[in-house]
Amino acid sequence: MTIANAIALLGGLGFFLFGMSLLGEGLKRVAGSKLETVLGKLTSTTFKGVLLGTLVTAVIQSSSATTVMVVGFVNSGIMQLANAIGIIMGANIGTTATGWILVLAGVEGSGGFSSATMFALISFIGIILYFFCKKSKQKNIGMIMLAFSVLMSGMQAMSGAMAPLKTSPFFIDFISAVSNPLISLLVGIVVTAIIQSCSASIGILQALSITGIIGYEVAIPMVIGMCIGACVPVLISAMGANVNGRRAAFVYLYFNLTGAVLLMVPFYILHAIIGFDIMSATATSFGIAIVNTIFKVSATVLLAPFSKVLEKIAMTTITDKKGKKSKSESTLLDARFLDYPSLALEQVRKTIDQMSLTAFKNLVASIDLLYNYEPGQFDAIMENEELVDRFEDETGAYLVQLNAASLSEKENQASAKYLVCLGNIERISDHAVNIAELAKELFDKKLSFSQSAVSELKICTDAIHEILDLTGSALLSNSSDTAKRVEPLEQVVDALTKELKNRHVQRVQAGLCTLELGFVYNDCINNFERVADHCSNLAVAVIEASDTHLQSHDYLRTIKKADHEDYRNALTGYANKYYSALDSAQ
């Protein structure tokens, strides 16, 4: 092989790997931004897991990527190890799709219409769709066509560069050396461990088969070795995972190792006794694709009924040291998900749901302290405040990392919404702490509000409870209809707090309340007003996320117009409810 051939080989390899990456990205976009999140759904049976893993991996073109995601799910506690095993098995089958696609590179038509001509035509159509169409779906289809052409061009370039190897004495000696199945197996493991893609290494072997001097005695064990080598990037990824995450990675390794032993040992024993003619035959791209598929499907069929055994082996290998997790430990935001924005954003959503539940629970508990102070509950509020702060810090840092990636317009909108939510939820928790400290001050100083002040305060806290319930429901269900009921209630809370302040000033002036109690009461009311403001901000964020053309100022300005019937009706309903209660308290 000349230097020119070597350069052509490296260039072809570059096109090939880039085409694979681009093809997977294009397929993911066409399949939908929620493709990866489908993996997070728990599967009730191993068979369903196998189907799910096969489907997703066939689209993203990488069993290693699928398995890394599964490791992340198990590490985060989203998925149990038992549910992950079926998906891991299916990932092995799904990755065979690439080998069958690459078979097309060697197809030759009649009348001079070669595969290269076909790929050129696909490339031309793809470039038109990508550059001249405005719709994202058409652009994504164009990207897939371009990626396919780049992939096939790289495959053909590698095949052409490798053609001189059939006359190379060094290469012939190398093939003779790896004719030993164990050596060939090791070569397959090493090559895939370096490239970190089973699909890519098998594609290189398919390109190498163009030399015509590779027999199945070399190709079969090398393909199996490549399947085992695919475990390396998964094991590397699991190094920072918890016990269950590492177990999931080792299940992938044990599955491929066990499959290799169960299939290779009987096969080579029979070959030694009978002698299979195919072992001396020349390997082809088509034949290598068949070998790859047979091995992975057979291994899955053999081992699927024994998924529990694989789970036990992994649990025995990776023992749990019974380390107790801190209450504030958050594992949903796994760094492995950053390569899959839709999946990462889904984890951010779940984390924000947890954060909001904790913050809202804190506020409710702090209000209870105003009426019935308990030191233990005060301590719990302070502990939960630390948890909310940690949620904000970790999620904010995670979103910053995620925003550095290439996000779609919809993903950017979701990220912006979550950033707004983070700040407002954290502030609600801060107000819970403020109210709890005011309750503690009353308790420590043995102070108490007058009966009329308590009655009026109870009406305001009822309104705060309702606005919290509405906001929490809107966040958890992502319901813009529920979110639209928040703003009119926030307006009523504003009016209530102003009225309560005026009434308390009158009590202080009349000598019915001390000035010191007046300051505490006023601080409580101010905190309630701020909480309602933050609930309004959260509701607007939910509404904006459902309407990409809406801006918060436009929304608030529009709904407050006299002709906005739904808003006016809701405002009147809340006003009648709470103003009537306030009048009754006089």
pLDDT in tens, 497-519: 999 888 888 887 877 777 788 88
Say how many C-beta atoms besides its own lie within 10 A of residue 393's C-beta.
13
pLDDT in tens, 445-500: 888 888 888 888 999 999 999 999 999 999 999 888 899 899 999 999 999 999 98
* Average pLDDT value for residue range 132-146: 83
Percent of the chain surpassing pLDDT 70? 89
pLDDT in tens, 375-424: 999 999 999 999 999 999 999 999 999 988 777 778 888 898 999 999 99
Length of the chain, please?
586
Q: Is the pLDDT of residue 137 over 90?
A: no
State the Cα–Cα distance between residues 247 and 86, nearest whole angstrom. Answer: 14
SS3 (DSSP) at 472: helix
State the Cα–Cα distance between residues 361 and 376, nearest whole angstrom. Answer: 15
Q: Is the pLDDT of residue 107 over 70?
A: no
What local confidence, expressed as pLDDT, does residue 325 receive? 47
Q: Are 449 and 521 in contact (CB under 8 A)?
A: yes
Q: Is the pLDDT of residue 110 over 70?
A: no
Task: Give residue 98's pLDDT band: very low, low, confident or very high (50, 70, 90).
Answer: confident
pTM of the full structure: 0.73
Paired strand residues for 114: 108
SS3 (DSSP) at 212: coil
Phi-psi region of 106 (alpha: psi -120 to 50; beta: other; left: phi over 0): alpha
Query: Got the DSSP string for 442-463?
Result: HHHTT----HHHHHHHHHHHHH
Q: Is the pLDDT of residue 328 over 50?
A: no
Q: Are 542 and 477 in contact (CB under 8 A)?
A: no
The contacts of residue 240 (CB under 8 Å, 6+ apart) are 335
State the Cα–Cα distance between residues 394 and 233, nearest whole angstrom. Answer: 26
What local confidence, expressed as pLDDT, does residue 366 receive? 95
What local confidence, expressed as pLDDT, does residue 333 receive? 83
And the tokens for 469?
A: 């319930």
Q: Are 286 and 222 in contact (CB under 8 A)?
A: no
Backbone angles phi, psi at 108, to 5 degrees: -120, 135
State the Cα–Cα distance between residues 221 and 213, nearest whole angstrom. Answer: 16
Least confident interval from 126-130, 159-163, 427-431, 473-477: 159-163
What local confidence, expressed as pLDDT, does residue 375 receive? 92
**All structural domains of the chain:** 3-317 (no CATH), 337-446 (1.20.58.220), 448-586 (1.20.58)
Q: At which residue do the structure tokens 């070795």 appear?
A: 225
Q: Are 349 and 277 in contact (CB under 8 A)?
A: no
Closest CA relative to residue 255, chosen from 58, 96, 38, 63: 63
Query: Got the DSSP string for 20-43?
Result: HHHHHHHHHHHH-TTTGGGGGSPP
Distances (CA, A) of 158 to 17, 62, 152, 486, 572: 11, 21, 10, 62, 74
User: From the CA atom positions of the chain, what is the Rg in Å?
Assistant: 32
Single-letter residue type at 225: G
